[in-house]
Amino acid sequence: MDINTYKPQNRISNKHLLTLLDYSSEEIFEVLKLAMELKKALKTGKKHECLSGKTIAMIFAKSSTRTRVSFEQGIRQLGAYPMFLSSNDIQLGRGEPIADTVKTLERYNIDGIMIRTFAHSDAEDLAKFGTVPIINGLTDDFHPCQALADLLTVYEHFSKLKGVKLVYMGDSNNVSNSLMIAGAKCGMQVTICCPKTHSPNKDILALAQACGSVVVTNNIDEALKNASVVYTDVFFSMGQENDDKKRAALMPYQVNTAAMSRANKDAIFMHCLPAKRGQEVTSEVIDGKQSVVFDQAENRLHAQKAVMQLLLKT
């Protein structure tokens, strides 16, 4: 089955979104199909306040532009109330156990929690000790909401996912981890092109390869051949210090005009943003005609709304 033959069921069996390893291909298709519907509804001015009266807490241990705004706007558009909680505002940032935090929030009639944090175990513990749906807005290991938005963007440009070759260039991180999993589960051909010193986590790679086609290589020409999507992210993720040795190792994997010329003529360029022009990508590429980075940014809104509706609608 692929996304074009999948018939929406208007439900998923999962209670949380922690990692897309927990989701079947059909459940990913369910999210993407609903995201398309919600995007159309917003563009045509059709109200879709299916979560009216609910309150969704947003816990931020890591700051963000796209995650905060897309979730806050999405929650409002679904008719719910967003409650922003930074680590400076709550006791979780001062050492309160996660179990105590989630149990307290539930007593205040919080209906769901989105968390953007460092350790993936924080999101897992919220799900373990609480009873409300937990959405992973980003952890050091996974970024499932970004991957869902990325797949939606790929589908909009190619009208399919199955067989589309996506090449991720540069430092392996939470974004590439989720792309490997989501892409493989949806029938895409995912290639991670990076120096051997910055290869994906072996355990996560093995889990992704068990889902479908995932290849890791340091051969740039081999990786970009027949690529329809060329993707990159910053060389230094939030919380990481700039390191000359790491930068030198990754610079050959910069996405520039020469790199894009190795891919298909109709290939698109993707980046989850924020970007460091002149480092992982050149201005000519990210600001050029093949770039769809702002389509991706917008699609965070629609994909996340679909997740929230499926997890919280009663």
Flag the least confident range among 8-22, 152-166, 229-243: 229-243
> Which pLDDT does position 177 carry in this prediction?
98
Average pLDDT, integer, range 176-180? 98
Q: Does the pLDDT of residue 87 top 90, yes or no?
A: no
Torsion sign across C-alpha atoms 181, 183, 189, 190: negative
Bridge partner list, 136: 115
Q: Which residues are CB-contacts of 61 (< 8 A; sequence separation ≥ 6)?
A: 86, 87, 92, 93, 115, 116, 117, 118, 122
* pLDDT over 70 percentage in the chain: 100
As a whole number of angstroms, the distance between CA 78 and CA 289 comes to: 33
**CATH code given to domain 146-296:** 3.40.50.1370
Average pLDDT, integer, range 249-276? 98
Q: Which residues are CB-contacts of 89 (< 8 A; sequence separation ≥ 6)?
A: none
> Which pLDDT does position 194 carry in this prediction?
98
How do residues 55-69 score in pLDDT, each as one tens digit? 999 999 998 999 999
> Which pLDDT does position 93 carry in this prediction?
64
- What is the rounded average pLDDT for all residues in the chain? 96
Please list the residue range(s) of the chain that carry CATH number 3.40.50.1370: 20-142+298-312, 146-296
Average pLDDT, integer, range 212-238? 96
Residue 239: which pLDDT band, with cuts at 50, 70 and 90?
A: confident
> Which pLDDT does position 59 carry in this prediction?
95
Residue 15: which pLDDT band, with cuts at 50, 70 and 90?
A: very high
> Which pLDDT does position 263 carry in this prediction?
98
Q: Does the pLDDT of residue 95 top 90, yes or no?
A: no
Class of 20-142+298-312 per CATH? alpha beta
Residue 104: which pLDDT band, with cuts at 50, 70 and 90?
A: very high
Average pLDDT, integer, range 150-154? 99
Residue 314: which pLDDT band, with cuts at 50, 70 and 90?
A: confident
Instruction: List, by residue number, the catalytic residues.
Output: 116, 143, 146, 233, 272, 300
Flag the least confident range among 52-61, 73-82, 96-105, 289-298: 96-105
> Which pLDDT does position 1 carry in this prediction?
81
As a whole number of angstroms, the distance between CA 46 and CA 40 comes to: 8
